[in-house]
Amino acid sequence: MPFATPLALLGLLFVPAVVAMYLLKLRRDEAIVPSTLLWNRLVADVEANAPWQRLRRNLLLLLQLLLVIALAILAARPFVERPAGLARDLVLIVDASASMGATDVVPNRLAAAKQAAIDALRDLPSGGKVSVIAAGRTARVVATGSGDMARVRQAIDSIDVTASTGDLGDALRLASALAARSGDAQILVATDAALATVPTTRVDAPVRVLQVGRQRQNQAIVALAIRTAPSGLTKSAFVSVANLDDVQAKRRLEVYADGALIDSRDLYIDPQARAEIVVDDITQQNKRVVNAIEVRLVDDPEETASSDRLASDDRAWAIVPRDRLRRVLLVTDGDPYLETALTYLPNTELYGVSPANYGPSTHPEKFDLIVFDAHLPQSLPSTPILAIAPDRSGPLGDVAGSLTAPGIGSLDPQEPILRYVDLSTTHIAEAKKLVLPAWARSVIPGPAGAPLLYAGDRAGLRTAVLAFEPRRSDLPLQVAFPILVANLAGELMGASSGPNDAVKPGDPVSLPIPSGATGLHVTRPDGTSVDLVPGTVGGTTVTFSQTDQPGVYTVTPVLPPSASGSPGASASATPSPSPGASGSAAPDIDPGTPFRFAVDLFDVGESNIAPGNASAISALGNSGTTGATPGASGAPAPSGNGTAVAQRPAARDELWGPILLIALAVLSVEWAVYQRDALIRVWRGIGARRRRPAGGS
Amino acid sequence: MTLTEPGRPNEARRHAFLPSDVDPTVFDEAFLRQLERLLLLMKSPVRGGLKGGRRSVKRGQSVEFADYRDYSLGDDLRQLDWNVYARLERLFVKLFVEEEDVTVTFLIDASASMAAGRPPKLLFAKRAAAALGYIGLASEDRVAVSVLGGRLARRQPSLRGSGRVFRLLTNLSAIVPADGPTDLLATARRAAAMLTGRGVLVLISDLLDPNAERVVRELAGTSAELIVLHVLSPDELDPKLEGDIRLVDSETGDGVDVTVDLATIDGYKARLAAWQTGFAELAAKRRASYVTVSSDVPLAELVFAELRRRRVIG
């Protein structure tokens, strides 16, 4: 029998030591008896005075020798060898996507996958190395080329279920890169194969899949949105619930407003269908301001067995957008089209001032957007700016001349500013010839690279420049004009609060830093908090990436001690109200007001927990050696791995278990022998106690 | 009971009539009270002291009629009861009690091993001899005491008559254990050689001697009736030993290493029982009486319960 640490067999040297201790004459207490006549006869056959005879009869010594031998062998770690079923360099991918939290296997799929992976590692040849990759939203290496199985097990154990959509392709690419460094590599994927995005990456190594999961019972909240009613007074929640099971499901939908239950609906959803639910009037409940809406999908109390195996998609959150008045200053000599279009913007107060009256006394810093129509001031304010047909070059861009009847270039359909904007019938009489600055992107391309509209982030300030005056085109007469103005205003002013749409778990989110704040304090759904400071001095946004938990995140701007009051609250707004705009002074917005954003899964593909096709994943690998199983050594060795497979060391099974059992058994027997008198007395006592009541009756 | 606590001489109070040469630690007041009580109890049933003495009565020339038996050829015709023949026409021989001088001899083992035990076996032996000797004296028997110690058997002068009881006590209290090893066989042979005529021989010993069986066999072979009082102390009957110890013989000084556990104790007890059974069988075979007794048994219990039960005394 081979040993992993044969030097430990030196422990057998304790055997003669134990024997020697027994051979040494015991120092005995003397007891004077009237006569040793009877004792002599008793020990006559025991031969107490002959050490060797005593040795042979001493059960304790034998047991102790056995124990020493067992411990020495245990320390030497004996093992048996068998053909290895895995390659020498193994890359283990453990799927940690949300669907792995399904409880159709106990306790959940991830635990089963981890156990399957640990079981599979027994086939690793001796000296084999294991890299472990957790495949969540992105691939994460938790162990690299480790030969220490304890560390590998620890790394596997450290993988937790994430709430995000998994990307197995990313993990496979990483695994392929790790495998490429070795001549004898194999990729082991522990997954339920219920993949939201099916990987297509080809891998130059054999891929074996350890599939877990059996059922597809799941219902999920796949969408939740808050919309303002056309009246502008109430808000409604739109919820979409999908039944991904093969049978009809009965669930209950509970709607909470800031933790208080406001509505409950029983849903009957057909198999593979969605139920769309609209919950009206969510903010008027209890006549109070509602920050966040949570919807929960719970089991019907009358149903005995749950028809849902994945809990992480049964809750969703949405932030109720604040109705905040925004102030727009229009610096113009008068453009009725523009004024009218801006007046139609919801929750907006429009102020007007002529270019001649514009100056520091206008307090441009108190406006959310300033529109400069044809004229640019000497110094630009630190607010978002929409410049229309700038008359001269400046920080907003260079004016290289004029264009007459410029054509509109091909438009990007993904451009948010042009959403629902149809410019196909628009004609422009005259426009400025602008040069696209480095900070901007071209929104409406013009002739010869001169943009007709560009937008971007200029030193943290949203800025857009339109090359032509609307009235110098037929655009104001088209339906596209108010939409374009609304989109531009949304783009330029939208950054003043957090993201309104739900963020996917794990996705980084860009958070604006209000003016006057030095940083942000983000409280996560579990109560932990993170302090964020901008990467550059004076930066206006900061990226937050710890969005792995679904739920509501609260962002509180951190104000410097001196700026705790409302800056500019005492300053009066001097611009004269423009026609149609309310003249009342708008309340100043405190930059310290916290805002919120929600993180939700909202992924039908990930919520579909039906076990997928494992062979499709296996097929991505170098299929020639996929079947490298024990006993398959006779198979023709394909590709360059053949030599490596032939030279692969055998797997080792250490035999510590049975030896430890033997040692424990010997130890127990030794103890029992040592205490045999006490045990016999106890046994006799029990026997006497049993006999006594029997005799008494 | 003072009898079971002999190691406290200060508490032993001398009896008012006790002669000065009687060891008060051996025959203390409590013992004498027991002896008096013994006498009172003996009064009614006393017919002839020890059983051995009664059994040795010869039917022969005497005036005291004892019994009849059938005539058999060769009997003395002078002993025929003609009156009975006249009535029954059958021949019967009259038997008469032969009055004989019976000697009760106590062989007291005074080897070193007898000094051991709690209470010491020798003390018990002395008291037992005193009690039985008192019965003998009360039955008008001769009472003699021989001490077996070392290689010698010292026979003390025989006594007769109940008035000599204090002399008996004095003699008994003078017995001391031998210093060195005792050859029980040799001393018993010497004592046996000093026996005169028939009588009762009472051997009080722990029999812890390799030749104990031969001693019993040879003493049973004498003309006297043998009674063996086998005395063992409680710690010999049930040793309270444990662990790895070296047992040292109090007589020879020889040691034996033994690991005492429950199994060893069980083995010891089994051997002890077999050893005693061997003596009992031997005694039965030789028509001797054998009584085992623990040295902590009260004297009255010994005399009235144990010895009577075994029909040693009548």
Mean pLDDT over A304-309 rounds to 80
Cross-chain residue pair A40–B267, CB shorter than 8 Å: no
Report whether A600 contacts A224 (CB < 8 A).
yes
CB contacts, 8 Å: B261 with chain A: 676-677
Q: Report whether A320 contacts A293 (CB < 8 A).
A: yes
**What confidence category does residue B44 fall into, taking pLDDT thresholds of 50, 70 and 90?**
very low
pLDDT more than 70, % of chain A: 86
Give yes or no for residue A635 having a pLDDT over 70: no
- B235 vs chain A: nearest CA distance in angstroms? 9
- On whether ipTM exceeds 0.90, the answer is no
pLDDT at A497: 46
CA distance A124 to chain B (A): 54
Task: Please judge whether B256 and A40 are an interchain contact, meaning their C-beta atoms are less than 8 angstroms apart.
Answer: yes
Interface of chain B toward chain A, CB-CB under 8 angstroms: 112-114, 116-117, 121, 206, 208-210, 233, 236, 239, 241-252, 254-259, 261-264, 267-268, 271-272, 275
| Range list of H helices, A435-574 | 480-493
Average pLDDT over residues A541-560: 87
| Cβ contact B113–A34 (<8 Å) | yes
Nearest by Cα to B132 from B119, B122, B120, B145: B145
Q: Which of B12, B36, B11, B41 is nearest to B24 (CA)?
A: B12
- Residue A34 distance to chain B (closest CA, Å): 4
Instruction: Report the alpha-carbon angle B95-B101-B106, nearest 5.
Output: 125
pLDDT at A125 over 60: yes
The pair of structure tokens assigned to A136 is: 């969540």
Does A33 sit within 8 Å of B250, measured CB to CB?
yes
Could you tell me the end-to-end alpha-carbon distance of chain A, in angstroms, rounded to an integer? 62
What are the chain B neighbours of A677 within 8 Å (beta carbons)? Answer: 242, 261-262
Chain B contact present for A45, CB below 8 A: no
* pTM for this entry: 0.54
Residue whose pair of structure tokens reads 């030749």 in the numeric block: B211
Question: How many helices (H) and strands (E) would you count in chain A?
Answer: 14, 30
Q: What is the pLDDT of residues A661-689, one digit of tens each?
A: 999 999 998 888 888 778 888 988 898 88
Cis peptide before A107 (omega within 30 of 0): yes
Cross-chain Cβ contact B245/A29 below 8 Å: yes
Residues in chain A with CB shorter than 8 Å from the CB of B257 are 26, 28, 43, 48-49
How distant is the Cα of A14 from the closest Cα of chain B, in angstroms? 24
Residue A689 forms contact with B (CB below 8 Å)? no
CB contact under 8 A, A34 and B233: yes
- Written as six digits, the tokens of A60 are 């304790």
Is the pLDDT score of B179 beyond 90? no
B311 pLDDT more than 70:
no
Give the pLDDT score at A416. 82
Backbone φ and ψ for A257, nearest 5 degrees, come out as -110, 110
At A471-498, the pLDDT tens digits run 889 999 998 998 899 888 888 886 444 4
Which pLDDT score, from 0 to 100, does residue A697 have?
43
The answer, for A680 touching chain B at a CB cutoff of 8 Å, is yes
pLDDT (tens digit per residue) in A588-630: 446 677 888 899 988 888 888 888 888 888 888 875 544 433 3
Query: Is residue A143's pLDDT more than 80?
Result: yes
- Give me the pLDDT at residue A394, please: 86
Q: Check if A287 contacts B (Cβ < 8 Å).
A: no
